[in-house]
Amino acid sequence: MSTLKVMIGRDEIRSKTKELAARISEDYKDKDLLMVCVLKGGFMFMADLAREMTIDVNLDFISCSSYGSATVSSGVVRILKDIDYDITGKHILIVEDLIDTGLTLKYLKDLFAAKGCASVKVCTILDKPSRRRVVMEPDYEGIIIPDAFVVGYGLDYAEKYRNLPDVCIVCDD
């Protein structure tokens, strides 16, 4: 049996998301913004963030392998589903659930830059800066969390728990 302990509750997530959306809406009010969600973990944050935006935006989705079902990063990034848009000249905002080692985002930022976008920035709802293996500072940072494996709010453990509205720790009984 395992029990779930709430680490970050839905109210804190909601208010941080509103704050981030207000900042992003202001910063991109005169620009063509394409928000790119990193699947699967980013789906819930993307939906909430997009709903709070007060400017017109385009939405797209990318999927890349990171953890599989294990809890340790392989460091290998593979694109499983690419974005649909031609990003030439577009301002890209990558929307992430959580930055851990930073390897995925470093790869994605370099990939988008090489495809000729006008700019590429990063927004994450959760951040574990103590785990970084490469330099990766989010431009829009949500909530800093300690080095623990978390689930919920899009994040899974072996594809379970993604639908939880809070960010939780799994405790084995």
- 100 noted as active-site residue: yes
Cβ of residue 75: shortest distance to ligand 5GP, in angstroms? 8
What count of other Cβ atoms lies within 10 Å of the Cβ of residue 36?
26
User: 67 or 85, CB closer to ligand 5GP?
Assistant: 67
User: 17 or 101, CB closer to ligand 5GP?
Assistant: 101
Cβ of residue 171: shortest distance to ligand 5GP, in angstroms? 14
Cβ of residue 164: shortest distance to ligand 5GP, in angstroms? 11
Longest CA pairwise span in the chain (Å): 52
167-172 and 2-8: which strand pairing? antiparallel
User: 31 or 40, CB closer to ligand 5GP?
Assistant: 40
- Name residue 111's beta-bridge partners: none
Catalytic residue chosen out of the listed positions 100, 139, 147, 172: 100
Instruction: Catalog residues that contact ligand 5GP under the rule CB under 6 A.
Output: 41, 66-67, 73, 96-104, 149-151, 155-157
In contact, 145 and 127? CB cutoff 8 Å: yes
* 77 DSSP assignment: -
In contact, 136 and 106? CB cutoff 8 Å: yes
How far apart are the C-alpha atoms of 139 and 151, rounded to whole Å? Answer: 23
Cβ of residue 93: shortest distance to ligand 5GP, in angstroms? 15
Which is nearest to 73 in space by CA: 102, 110, 36, 108? Answer: 102
* 160 DSSP assignment: B
User: 28 or 138, CB closer to ligand 5GP?
Assistant: 138
Query: What are the catalytic residues?
Result: 100
